[in-house]
Chain A
Amino acid sequence: MDSLFGAIAAIINLNHPGTFIHWGWFQISVANLLVICLMILTFVVALFVPFPGRSKRRGGDK
């Protein structure tokens, strides 16, 4: 079991010093920035993408 997981662990190696973005007194790691941007993107996408089941709602019961 160990060798199986050993063989498939970490396709992308993140075990090296991180990259940081500096902007005046502000500083953030690329990884964190990516996560935050993904969160905002997810929120915006969730707002705009149509939700399935429209025909069901049109024919809905009281």
Chain B
Amino acid sequence: MSVDTEISRQWTTRVRKGVVDYLPPDKMLPDTQPNYVASWIYVFGVTTLAAMIIVIGTGCILAIEGPLWWHHSTLGHFVNSMHLWSCEIFFFAMVVHLWGKYFMAAWRGKRAMTWITGVVVFVTSIATAFTGYVSQTNFDSQWISTQAKDGINSTGAGAFWNVLNLGQMLMWHIVLLPIVATLLVALHVVLVRHRGVVPPFDEAAIKAAKSGTAPKEVAS
């Protein structure tokens, strides 16, 4: 076997080629956008991402001193406030982003997985927020956990996911769910970059299809 053949057969080479083919640098970080990207509705995805970065950043600061720090430190309380408000902005922006994407029917043109990963991130974010709420170590977390246990127990999940177990909930909140959420967000963004932002409805084609004139060819 020649050296070139051997190299081309390597897993390393195949993975690198696969990745670069799927997402070449100028697709990963494009310097242009299609002319139809001309609305403020397009900024809510990146706003959600920005808020997520601040949620994680403030979470890291809270982790430095531990889960009880914010109760007895005014700096800690301020960082906790930042963590809460960045979370509120995160959900605010994500839902406006969802509304925008829905009304654009952004799943069109083989973008169904982008939509699906978005919904899964939404649900994962709710679970992440919930585990945060029950990790506050105050009255709110006591009430939320003792109430939520009924809902979660009723599905059978409570036998394995104990919302009254602070250790378990905190570790899901700071380790497992952020990892899952980050991976899903990365996948979501990669899919957007790979396919590009969904184009507008082609009203001429829609009209043609409706009136039964020659069906437009669609690349499969």
Residues of A within 8 A of B (CB): 1-6, 9, 35, 38-39, 42-43, 45-47, 49, 51, 53-54, 57, 60-61
Contact = CB atoms under 8 A, between A and B. Distances in A.
Contacts, number: 50
Nearest to B36: A57
Contacts of B44: 46
A47 B41 CA distance: 6
A43 B43 CA distance: 11
A5 B95 contact: no
B211 interface: no
Nearest to B78: A5
B5 interface: no
Contacts of A1: 75
Interface residues of chain A: helix, strand, loop or mixed (majority): helix
A39 B77 contact: no
B75 A43 contact: no
B88 A35 contact: yes
B92 A5 contact: no
B213 interface: no
B38 interface: yes
B38 A51 contact: yes
B95 A49 contact: no
Given A2-B74, A5-B78, 6 more contacts: A1-B75, A2-B73, A9-B78, A39-B92, A43-B100, A46-B41
